[in-house]
Amino acid sequence: MLLGQKRILVTGGAGFLGSHLCRRLLNQGHEVLCVDNFSTGTRRNIEELISDPRFELLRHNVTFPLFVEVDEIYNLACPASPIHYQFDPVQTTKTSVSGAINMLGLAKRLKVRILQASTSEVYGDPIVHPQTEDYWGNVNPIGSRSCYDEGKRCAETLFFDYHRQHKMSIKVARIFNTYGPNMRPDDGRVVSNFICQALLGEDITIFGRGEQTRSFCYVTDLIDGLDRLMNSPEEVTGPINIGNPGEFTIRELAEKVIALTGSQSKLVERPLPEDDPKQRQPNIEVAEKLLGWRPTIKLDEGLVRTIAYFDALLREHGKKITSETRVRADAFV
């Protein structure tokens, strides 16, 4: 192995974020062990990486122990969109909790640093705005989203208990809404939904009046934040918010997508889902101070790139995707 080169494990490596992270690590000269059970990750995302001799793919479910030799671990394995994590909520909780236990156990045995991909969903439907890392959140522990929200909260608990009890080197990133190429058209997330609906000339579905707000971070900015956190000084454990502080209403996002695609789609309102957060905006002062990180891609620029990705995907598949196929868990695997 070359000087400075690491063998890095990325769980969930065939997923949206994981595939971008694998690509970045390979570009930096590292060896990458990509672990995924392909419940939501897709081979398409990593197709071009498989021929790289420094890339290894292992099909494995992190709810079971893993015995490998690596120098660093990024734990990204978990369904992250409501459609996918609510499809099998018990498995979602097991992935977050048992997966964290297994990856922490591996990191403890190997004495290596481990990063947990947590989420802004730990803040629930926040009563503090924008959200800072010292806010404990407002989460429904028994709602339909709890398998994801509480699973990620428990994973954070485990990381910090391992850190305190076993003196392990940990990093915890709280990821806010992220978008870009390699998203699945069937993931039910607002950016992918709106773009696919607009490109297909379908009505764009918004929930309520579309007045709830979100902050959208382009994927390359997000991956840069994770990289900086992993390589930050030992005492920087997090949790640290990684997201774009630009705040937009869902209606504003829909109108941007319509304008950028030139679509004739109309907005159609639907009832709000259970426990849907009304506001979501990261305070990133800690990331700016400790990591020197701030997103650089503006929403319009990122949307143009993402629209191009989905347009090519739809053309490749003869634009056969519809609103119905987008909610199927096996579409476009």
Q: Are 250 and 210 in contact (CB under 8 A)?
A: yes
Q: Are 42 and 105 in contact (CB under 8 A)?
A: no
Hunting for tokens 């305070």 — which residue is that? 283
Catalytic residue among 74, 85, 123, 148: 148
Our answer to whether residue 85 is catalytic in this structure is no
Q: How does strand 204-207 pair with strand 267-270?
A: parallel
Q: Which stretches within the chain are classed as H helix?
A: 16-27, 43-46, 82-87, 89-110, 146-166, 190-199, 219-230, 250-261, 285-291, 299-316, 323-326
- Name which of 56, 59, 168 is nearest 103 in CA terms: 168
Q: Are 35 and 11 in contact (CB under 8 A)?
A: yes
- Name which of 191, 206, 215 is nearest 273 in CA terms: 206
Helix, strand, coil shares of the chain, percent, nearest 5, are 40, 15, 40
Task: Round to whole Å and give the CA distance between 242 and 178.
Answer: 10
Hunting for tokens 């439907």 — which residue is that? 125
User: Which residues are identified as catalytic?
Assistant: 148
